[in-house]
Structure 1
C-alpha cells in the first residue's frame, strides 16, 4: 500500500472513499465535515439521517466509523468518523487511533482500493498537529501490516503547510 501526502481540498480527491472528520450528529458542520456535506450534496445528508434514525439515535460515538454515499463527490463513498477533542489531562490517543483503524476497516469491507483522510481532530478539536499526524501514520501502517493487499493507496490530505510538514515528519520523509 502506498501512503502519500497531498496538499489541498479533500472534496476533490479522486479516490474510492473519502473520510469525513464528522461530528457525532452526522448532520454536517464546520471544517471538513461541512465541506464534504456541501460538495457532496443532499444525498449524503439523507443517508446520515437514515443512519441516525436506524442505528445511531444518540449520534456516532468517537472512534467509530460508518459509510454513506459520496453524492456528488468524485469518490464512491464517504466514511464518517468522529475524532476526540484533545485533552491535556486525559490521554485520548487510542480514540483517535481507532478513527483511522475503523475507517480503514470500513473501506476494506466496502471494497475500496483507495482512501483519502483529513487530519482528524487537528482542527477545531485542538489536537496538536505532530501528534495527530503521527497517530494517523501509525494506525495506517499497523493496518497495512495486518491486512496486506486490501488497499492500494492512502492519501493523507494536508489542509495547510503545517499539516503537510507534520505528515512528512511522521512518515520519515524530508519536509519540502
Structure 2
C-alpha cells in the first residue's frame, strides 16, 4: 500500500506492507535509525516518536496507520547543526549513558514539555516511567528535563503572542 505522511517536516510516500511497523518503516525504508527498537512490545519506550503531537510507541503502530500523520523522530528535534535546549540539558546533566534509550527519552520529554512546560518532577517521573533505561538511575534524566522547561515556557509564550 502507498502511505503518505510528514516526517520531520518533509512529506514522504512509502510503499508499505500491511504488517510493517512504523518503527521498521522509519528505520529501513526512510533511513531514520535514531528510532531504536528494543522490546517490540511497547514496553521499553526506545521506539517512541511523536505522531500528531503525542508520544507514540512506533513498534506498536503500523506504517499504514500513519497515513496523513505528522511525525517527528529524534532526528527532527535538532535545530540544524546545534543541539536543542532539551538535548543540551541531557548532555549537561549526564542524562544519557549508552544512548540506546536516549531517543525515546528525548521524544517523550519533548512531547511532555511541549504540552506541559510547567510540569514538576513528579510529572516528569510519571511520564518517563514508560521509558526503560538500564544504565542510569533516572535522576540525571529528570534533572535534564526540569532544566529544559524554561526553553519550552518561552516557546509557549511566543506562540500565544
TM-score, normalised with respect to structure 2? 0.30
Which is higher, the Rg of structure 1 or of structure 2?
2
What's the TM-score, normalizing by structure 1? 0.29
